[in-house]
Structure 1
Amino acid sequence: MTSGTQTPGLAELLGRYRPQGPVETADHERLLGLVGASDAWDRSTPLHFTASALIVHPKTKRVLLRWHVKQQAWLQVGGHGDPGETLPLDIALREGREETHLTDLVPWPDASLVHVTVVPVPDSPREPAHEHADLRFLLATESPQDARPENPESPLEWLTLAEARERTTEENFRETLDRAGRLLDAV
């Protein structure tokens, strides 16, 4: 975070996180097993951490989805840590800024994880099939009109939660949308 506040590390985030349901509980246990591993963020390992965020505009209760070419799905922003990066929220913020050009992104409603999940990634010409141990946050913007895709192959769309649920094909992401919806409804 740019305010100089220390962002929580991996062990702290996962240690205080409380999974919901048997699938997330099993995924959370797998993620806890990666904490402390020297290659936990190394994209060449079969299971490694990624950090992502669903960008929300609380005033309109809309969410920003991005087309992911590799996954062939409408999803949240996010990805791998750059070399030396290990703070999940900082990674999600950087990825969010890079993929949307939104410069005012902030954790919302706070810096807590909103969802943890293990996501299968299909093989490609560049890498074998593997899994992402994805750490998901919510980020808010006050200027949704400023969103621009990082490239033409990865368009962005502001949608209502219902539209976003229909647009995505990923059940784990629908769960993230449902959790975001409960938080947005409380505003």
Structure 2
Amino acid sequence: MTLHDDAVSTLSRFTGQDALKEAYLGFLGAREDACMRSCEPGHLTASALVLDATAEHALLTLHPRVGRWLQLGGHCEPEDVSLAAAALREATEESGMRGLRIEPTPIHLDVHPITCSLGVPTRHFDVRFLVRAPMGAQPVRSAESVDLQWWPLDSLPDNVDDLHPLIESALARIR
């Protein structure tokens, strides 16, 4: 199964955000390259909301290009066999933590305009997953981040309003 096939299958099973889900599936139906960053009109990305073992803290990165606190994630790579694998790879690379566990079904979708590595304005069709860190896991900041830290879910930084629906979806999944 290709990454494109996995994306269609994964999104077909996703429940919620029906209009956005259908837009993703329509985009995938129109573009065989929809999962590759070279797709200039936009491309699927995979991200991970990393929660600690107690589900009381979220690991957020201060993104160097965006200048805001975000969940971990990024572009799919040619070696990724699934969107979940891409999200887990990104979370592991960006957090420096081993033993992360991913829920295989997405918890949230988000489309946002961005100028990414292509150097031209495009869109990210972000597929967001829930990832749990093992007890006592300590993140190690990578070169992809200005800062990386655990934030209490009831005391998030000021500029993360768009993360609240993602966090609510994650908490609904684990409760």
TM-score range, shorter chain: 0.7 to 0.9
Q: Deviations over 1:124-149 (max 9, x none)?
A: 79611111010100111114442111
Unaligned runs of 5+ in 1: 1-7
Q: Deviations over 1:52-79 (max 9, x none)?
A: 0000113252110111122221010000
Query: 1:169 is matched by which residue type in structure 2?
Result: V
Unaligned runs of 5+ in 2: none
| Partner Cα distance (2:66, 2:161) in 1 | 10
- When residues 149 and 143 of structure 1 are mapped into structure 2, their CA distance, relative to the original with a 3 A threshold, is farther
- Of residues 125-134 and 97-106 in structure 1, the stretch that sits farther from structure 2 once superposed is 125-134
Other-structure match for 1:178: 168
Query: 2:27 is matched by which residue type in structure 1?
Result: L
| Partner Cα distance (1:18, 1:61) in 2 | 25
Over aligned residue pairs, what C-alpha RMSD do you find?
Answer: 2.3
Please tell me whether the aligned partners of residues 68 and 154 of structure 1 are also in contact (alpha carbons under 8 angstroms).
yes
| Partner Cα distance (2:122, 2:111) in 1 | 10
Alignment of 1:64-143 (within 5 A): 64-107=59-102, 110-121=103-114, 123=115, 127-143=119-135
- When residues 152 and 69 of structure 1 are mapped into structure 2, their CA distance, relative to the original with a 3 A threshold, is closer
- Given the two structures, how large is their TM-score scaled by the length of structure 2? 0.85
Task: Name the % identity.
Answer: 28
Please tell me whether the aligned partners of residues 45 and 75 of structure 2 are also in contact (alpha carbons under 8 angstroms).
yes
Other-structure match for 2:52: 57
State which of 169, 172, 187 in structure 1 corresponds to 2:160.
169
- Given the two structures, how large is their TM-score scaled by the length of structure 1? 0.80
Please tell me whether the aligned partners of residues 161 and 181 of structure 1 are also in contact (alpha carbons under 8 angstroms).
no
| 1:31 is the counterpart of 2:24 | yes
| Partner Cα distance (2:83, 2:63) in 1 | 20
Other-structure match for 2:143: 151
